[in-house]
Structure 1
Amino acid sequence: MAPLEDQHVSEEEDVGSESDDGGSETNRLEQLHDESEELTLENSILKDYYERNAADGVGDEEDKRLRNRQRRRQAAPTTLTLEQKAEVAEAEHAVAVQTLEEAKRGSERLIDTLHAVLEETDIRIAELKKDAYEFKRDVVVGAENMRTGKTVAEKVVRYMEDKLRQRDTTTEKLRLKNAALKGQIQKVEAQLRQKDDMGDALHYIDFHQLQIENKQHVARIEERNAELLRLKSATGRAVQALSSLKGALQQAQADSDWLAAEMAARTAALAKTTTDLATVQEEATAERRVVRRLSQVPGDNSEAPHIDTYIAQKKALYELQQELRSWERKVEIAEMASKRARQESKRSKEVSAAPF
C-alpha cells in the first residue's frame, strides 16, 4: 500500500505544478497585452511627432542618419531614451493643448454667431409681425372702398411708396452708422500702429480690452451689413411689387379712358336720338292735325266737294294714315333706342366709377 500512496501523492504534485504554470502563463499573456497596447500608443505618438516635424523639414537629416545607422546595424534595435520620450510627450501635449484652445475659440465664435443669428431672427419676426399688422390696417381694411368692397389702387401705391421711403431712410441711417463704426475701427487701428511704432508695449489687460472692443465692432459691422443686405432685398421686392401695381394701374387707366370715350360716343348717340325723336314727334303731331282736319265732315251739303276731289282726299287721307303709322313705328323704335342708350350710359358710368 505504501508504493501506491507515494504514487498518488506524486500525481497530485504534478497537477498542482501544471495549474501554477497555467496561471503564470495567463498573467504573462495579460502583461504582454498591456505592454503591446502601451507600445502601440507610444508608436502612434511618435509617428505623429515624426510626421509633424517631417512636414516642417526638421527631421530630414536625422531620418537619413537613422536609415544609415539601421543599414549598418540591422540587428541592433533602436530605442529612445527617457529624455527623448519626455521631449516627444511634451511636444505632443503642447500640440494637444493648442488644438483644444483652437477648438474652444472656434466653439465660442460659433456660439456668438448663433446668438447673433437668434437675436436677428427674433428682431426680424417682430418686424414681420409689425409689417403684417400695418398692411392689414392700412391696405386690407383702410384702403377698401366701402361701396364696392374693393381695394383702392391709389392707396395701395401710396402705402408701398411710404414703405420704400422708410426703407431708404433706414438704409441711409445704417450706412452712416456703418461708416462711423469703420471710422472708429480705423482710428483704433491707427492708434495701435502708432503705439507699435513708438515701441510702447501695451499692458495685457488693455490689449485684451481692445480685442474685445474690436470683436464687438466687427460683430456690429457684420450685423449692419446683414441688415443692409436684407433691406436691399426687401427694397428690390417692394420695387418689383410697385412695378406690377403700376402696370395694373396703367391698364386700369387705359380701360377707364376707353370707357370714357365709349361713354362720350354713347352720349352723343343719345343726344342725336333724342333730337330725332323730338323731330319725329313734331312731324307726327302735324300729321295728326292734318288727318283730323281732313276727317271732319262738312255740315253744309252745298259745300260738298266734287266726287273727284272726294276720291283724291280719301286717297290722301289713306296715305297720311299709312305715313302716320310709319312715323309711330319710327317713334317707338327711337324710344327703344333712347332707352337702351340711357341704360348703357348708366352702366358705363358705374364701371368707370368703380375702383380697381
Structure 2
Amino acid sequence: MEKGSSHSHSSVDSYGSLNDLTEDELHKMIQETLQANTVLEAETFMFERHLARIEQKEGIKDSGPPSTQSISVRDPSYRKRSRSLMASTDRSQRLTAEQKCDIAQKEIEALKTSIIKVDEESEKSLDYYKAIMEEAEINLSELKKEYYEFERDVLKGALHPRTNKIIAEKCLRFFEDKIKARDLLIEKFRLKNAALKIQMKKMKQQLKQKAEMGEVLNEVDFNQLKIENEQYLEKIDERNQDLLRLKLMTGNTLQVLNSYKQRLQTLTKEAVKLQNDLALREDLQQKILAETKMVEAERAQAEKVNKKLRKNLTDFRIPDVMEYVHGKADIYDLQKKIKNWERKVDIAELALSTHTKAWKVLQLQVQRKHDWQDV
C-alpha cells in the first residue's frame, strides 16, 4: 500500500496542489490510485497464499501473517492493519520483479495442480453417478420385465375361467420359479466373483514378480504410453471419420445405382412395348399396302373401262328408243359404280395418308430411342 501512497503523492506532485486541480484531473488521479490499489491487492493476495502454502509445508501454523482462508484481503480492518504494517516496513524489503514472477509462476502451477485434482475428482464422481444411473436403469428394466411377466402369467394367465379369480397354485409356482432363477443368478455371480478373485490374485503375483525382476513401468513410461495411446486414438478417430465418409459415399452411390436400375427397367419395358407396337404397325402397313395395290389395280381397271366408255361416247350414234333407254340405264349403273369406286379410292388414299403419317412418327420415336440408348 506504500506504493499506492507514493503513487498518489507523486500524482499530487505532478498535478500540483489539490486545491489547484480541476474536477477532471482529480477524477483521473482517483482512477489511477484505484487501479494501483487493485494491483497491490492482487499481489498481496497472491503473496499471502504463497506464504500460507509454505507454512503448511513447513508445519508452521501460529507464526507469520494469517492465511487467506481466515482473513480476506477485502476486509477493511485487515486493510488498515496491512497499511500500518506496510508503512512500518522498510522499502528495501519489497519484492523484486523476478521474485513476483517466481511467486506467480508457483501459484499458477499450484492452481493447475488443484484444477487437475478437481477434474479427476469430478470425473470419478461422474463415473460413480453414471454407474448408479446405469444400475438404476437396469433395475428399472428388470422391474418392468418382471411386472410384465407377473401380469402375463398371474394376473391374466392364472385366472380361473369360472370364478374369474387368481389360482393360488399358479401364483406360488410363479414366485418359486422366480426364486429359483434368482438363486441360479446368485450362484452364477458367486462363481464369477470367485473366478475374478483368482484372476486378481494371479495378476498381483505377476506384478510382484515383475517388481522383483525390475520390469515395472515407471511414471515416464506410463506418460509415454499415455501419449502414444492418445496418438493412436486420434488416428482411430480419423479412420472412423474416413470410414463414415466412405459409408456415406457408398450409400449415395447405391442410391444413384438403384435409381439408374429402376430407370433401366422402365426403359426396357417401354422399349419392349414400343417394339410390339412397331410390329403391329408394320403388319398394319403391310395390309394397307396390299389393299392399296388392290385398289390401284381396280382403279386402273376402272380407268380402262372409263376410257373405253368415253371412246364409245365419242363414237356415239343415235340408237333406237329402246337401245337408248337400255344404254341410259347401263350408263346410270356404270356412273353409280364409278362413284362408288372413286369413293373407295378416296377412302383408301385417306387411310394411306393417315397410316403413312403414323408410320413416320413411329420411325422418329424409334430413332430417338436408339439415339438415347447410344448416348
TM bin, normalised by shorter chain, reads 0.3 to 0.5
Q: Normalized against structure 2, the TM-score is what?
A: 0.44
